[in-house]
Amino acid sequence: MNRILKKRFLFSTVYTAVLALFTLFVLLDTFVIPHGYGGRTVSDGKQAAEDLFGEEVAEKAGDGTPIMTENSYTDGNLSVSIETIRLHDTQVYVAEVILSSAAYFKTAFAEDTYGRNIREKSSEIAERVGAIFAVNGDFYGFRNEGFVIRNGVLYRDTPYSSSRDALVVDAEGKMFAVREKSTSAQTLLSDGAWQALSFGPVLLENSEICVDEDDEIGKMESNPRTAVGMIEPLHYIFVVSDGRTRESEGLSLLQMAELMESYGCTFAYNLDGGGSSTMVFNGRVINNPTDGRSGGERKVSDIVCIGY
């Protein structure tokens, strides 16, 4: 009888250990171990830019001598001006961006690689690609769902399992939302999509606020946030708010939507927030990121950026 009990105990111990190791591997594989996906590369984006905008625009590296201050940049193709305001007990950073072509509305991956668990700080990605201005993106690498079109290249055509609106920027610089389950990323690409990011929700559409205090209860709380809005094609507003600190409470989605409305946006979309929220200008982090694990910038999988 003792032998039987010992065998059962040994079997149970081994089974539990194997199960624990398997669970640990799954967790590490999902959240820690980097996986670069083959196929499309950054060089494909350069070709896509030439196809959409022409070689002259795609290869342009600035037009004339830029005029720069601590919080502004202007040349013949783009301008960026940043102001800091105090709103709802929160430090908020608002960037107005005007472009001559949507070719300068770009995105970039951590380590220049599309994949899962491949991460860098927003400021590091921005520096590597030479961005003049950048904010964090949608952290696509944390999920296996959601459309991913970056710089005219389709990387993922899997719609989000629950209802979600993707942000699209087309070759004319128009910004709009599409319900992922009602179309495909390939269709969007064929119709001229330049960028597609999946996070949300939509904050403003046709100049109307799309969120209220009864929507998305868990997300309506005050937090650090990142959002992008369009006044008209090629004229954008980027907003990053601090939060979760003694100095800054953070913004709710409704407060962010109201702010975008006050700047004249006709459309606005919420990007990844919390510890990811980061604004970078000319190599300098403008806001105060608050990643709970590091106390500074969070490493993310992608950025939205302005530059050549």
Average per-residue pLDDT for the chain? 88
Among 66, 110, 104, 113, which residue's Cα sits nearest to residue 278?
Answer: 110
Q: Which residues contact 307 (CB under 8 A, 6 or more apart)?
A: 78, 104, 106, 129, 130, 131, 132, 133
Beta strands in 56-116 (DSSP E): 67-69, 72-74, 78-87, 90-99, 105-109, 115-116
Residues 113-126: tens digit of each pLDDT: 999 999 999 999 99
3-state DSSP call for residue 175?
Answer: strand
* Residue where the block lists tokens 């194997």: 18
Tens of pLDDT along 184-243? 999 999 999 999 999 999 999 999 999 987 665 555 689 999 999 999 999 999 999 999
User: What SS3 class is residue 71?
Assistant: coil
Q: What angle do CA 257, 247, 256 make, to 5 degrees?
A: 5
Measured CA to CA, the distance from residue 104 to residue 99 in angstroms comes to 7
As a whole number of angstroms, the distance between CA 63 and CA 104 comes to 12
DSSP conformational letter for 80: E
Lowest mean pLDDT among 13-17, 64-68, 194-198: 13-17
DSSP code, position 36 = E
> pTM for the complete prediction?
0.87
Pure H helices in 131-219: 185-190
Work out the pLDDT band at 127, boundaries 50, 70, 90: very high
